[in-house]
A and B are shown apart, each in its own frame.
Chain A
Amino acid sequence: MPDATGLELIAQELREAEGEGAVIETTFFRARGSVEIDPARVRSVLARLRERGYSFLASVHGVDYYPHEPRLGVHYELLDMARVDRITVKLRVRSERPEVDSVTEEGPDGPGWPTADHQEREVYDMFGVVFRGHRDLRRILMPEDYEGHPQRRDFPVGGEPVAFTFNERETLGPM
């Protein structure tokens, strides 16, 4: 595990390489380190961490921080198999323009992470985050013509708002 100082060193390196605004915050919580970065630099940050040894992308998942803006977060869990080290890269995008570069494909900054293919599609399906450059971004778990992004926190659990007496006009419509 990178301890707190190791984490700060990584953050420092990233700031030097990518610019001051790349790393917004570092958190060392329950013995695991995570860095929150600027969404525009996700590909290059991941490439630098890969050079540092974090070569296995274990998970790409989305989080909804409703009602705090920027609301939609994407977390990348990286694993260094040689040193058994985990680090999380987090980014947050606003819900008005939820766009992030996709890390799946190869690009000028290095080989991509093919494992992010289906996982980014799931984040798109469930949260609505659009991954630019993903070759086939469509819904993966819900039917193709479904409307709405289910795992956003303001999406009702039942898929439709529950009709009580006080809101029956809105939910059920004119009857």
Chain B
Amino acid sequence: MGAPTPTDQPGISEYRRREQDVTLEPVRRQLAERDGGGGSGEELLTLNFGPHHPATHGVLRLLVTLQGEVVRDLKPIIGYVHTGIEKTAEDKAYWKVIPVVERMDYLSYYFNAMAYVGAVERLVEVEVPRRAQYLRVIHLELNRIASHLIWLGTSALDLGAVSIFLYCLRERELILDLFEMSSGQRMHTRYFQVGGVMEDIPGGFERKLREFLKIMPERADEYGAILNSNEIVLQRLRGTCPLDADTLLALGVSGPLLRAAGNPWDLRKADPYCCYEDFSFKIPVGTVGDNYDRFAVRLAEIYESVKIVAQALDGLPEGPHMTEDRKVALPPRHELATSMEALIHHFKLVTEGFRVPPGEVYNAIESPRGELGCFVRSDGSSKPARVHMRDPSFVNLQALSHMTRGSYIADMIATTAMLDPILGGIDR
């Protein structure tokens, strides 16, 4: 960063000085051209949206070129929550990276952890017990529901339906209560560890979860009933900003956006990980690819996630919640009193961490926004040499300009909402 340049006028800040440099000369020139004859009579206006704006999800800055009220071009400018997560992760032991990486896509924290932990488990070649995998699926799908609820609430807020926001937060409180029961934290729980999950679920979790699973579809029906018969919502979403599946594939878009356009690509079905092949669920797919399809696909995914959690809960196998490999996972505390090896393992794992054989691996899972990939390069030591998270929102954002070309500003707002960008993931 450069040093602040001293201004020659005392008492004027840098902002004001730069603003005084801006003149109306280009506009005057354009008007003169138009009046001189031959101009089309319409000038393009470049408007700056954000980074602080009530309708942006996070600090997203859009440079919108408008002709009247029609969007001609759109350039997203990002980097306003760049946190250097990948650089920080290179400094920490493998298990210490988990909380750092969780804070990337801050609505789907379990997915960040799952992608990273899955990559490390592939490198270390450790086997995750089935009970841990089922517990992971339960938490992942609950997190998917929670993420879709915030998406629904904030999108409805953008469209003007303020009460949906409060309803969605009410359901999300129930989910966060469940997370607090299993791991002690509402968000960023560090529940997934390399080799399994941190702790087994407590007594009472199952009962509370079943109550929630009974309530959630009814509530989702309510949201559908409110929004689907609302004239304003339908007018704003139906037919606006469609984009076909081929363009989306070329742009690297995946997840509900691609499914709304008709392509049923879902990594949970196509390339199952973490015992997803044991569960039967459907993939909601849209037809046209407009904003309404994106909305309907995500709303339908809530029901499917509820089904998956119910099946996982019913079929939850007995067994350890963490791998028995002491080189990777902490021994249970009662062993520390009796076994010398357990003590040594505990000491090594806590101070240095486990060593990972050198290699590079890329692990991809299906997050609520699309393909979330984690690339881990290990050089044989106890700290990763490179961690890169392929964030779905970062790639999906490139489709925004294609989607909104030729639409109105209001449609642009609705499309940004339906795109579900999470700036933490985009900026990392």
Contact = CB atoms under 8 A, between A and B. Distances in A.
Interface of A: 29-30, 32, 34, 55-59, 61-64, 75, 77, 81, 84, 86, 88, 111, 113-119, 122, 126, 139-143, 145-147, 150-151, 153, 155, 157
B152 to A, nearest CB: 27
29 contacts: A30-B361, A32-B361, A58-B252, A58-B254, A58-B364, A58-B371, A58-B373, A59-B375, A59-B395, A61-B388, A62-B388, A63-B360, A77-B375, A77-B390, A111-B250, A113-B250, A114-B250, A115-B252, A115-B253, A117-B398, A119-B394, A140-B78, A140-B79, A142-B82, A145-B2, A146-B1, A150-B84, A150-B87, A153-B90
A118 B398 contact: yes
Contacts of A145: 1-2
A4 to B, nearest CB: 15
Contacts of B82: 141-142
Given A151-B86, A157-B91, A56 B375 contact: no
B251 interface: yes
A2 B91 CA distance: 34
Interface string B385-401: 11010100011011000
A111 B371 CA distance: 23
A61 B427 CA distance: 14
A65 to B, nearest CB: 8
Nearest to A150: B87
B359 interface: yes
A84 B270 contact: yes
Nearest to A34: B360
Contacts of A58: 252, 254, 364, 371, 373, 390
B123 interface: yes
A30 B123 CA distance: 7
Contact-residue size bin, chain B (C-beta under 8 Å from the other chain) = 35 or more
Nearest to B249: A56
Given A63-B360, A115-B250, 9 more contacts: A29-B359, A29-B361, A77-B390, A113-B250, A115-B253, A118-B397, A119-B395, A143-B1, A157-B84
Contacts of A75: 360, 362, 375
Given A56-B252, A63-B386, A141-B428, A118 B394 contact: yes
Contacts of B79: 139-143
Contacts of B123: 30
9 smallest A-B Cβ distances: which pairs? Answer: A115-B252, A59-B390, A141-B79, A141-B82, A61-B388, A30-B122, A63-B386, A115-B251, A114-B250
A145 B2 CA distance: 7
Contacts of B385: 153
Given A56-B249, A141-B82, A61 B122 contact: no
Contacts of A143: 1, 79
A157 to B, nearest CB: 6
B377 interface: yes
A27 B28 CA distance: 62
A38 to B, nearest CB: 19
B408 interface: no
A55 B251 CA distance: 11
B221 to A, nearest CB: 33
Contacts of B43: none
A113 B249 CA distance: 10
Nearest to A111: B250
B265 interface: yes
Given A143-B79, A150-B84, A61 B270 contact: no
Contacts of B341: none
Interface string B115-127: 0000000110100
Interface in B367-390: 371, 373, 375, 377, 385-386, 388, 390
A64 B395 contact: no
| Best-buried of B123, B250, B254 by chain A (most CB within 10 Å) | B250
A113 B251 CA distance: 7
B88 interface: yes
A85 to B, nearest CB: 10
A145 B390 CA distance: 25
Nearest to A85: B271
A29 B373 CA distance: 17
A77 B1 contact: no
Contacts of A142: 79, 82
A39 B91 CA distance: 29
B402 to A, nearest CB: 9
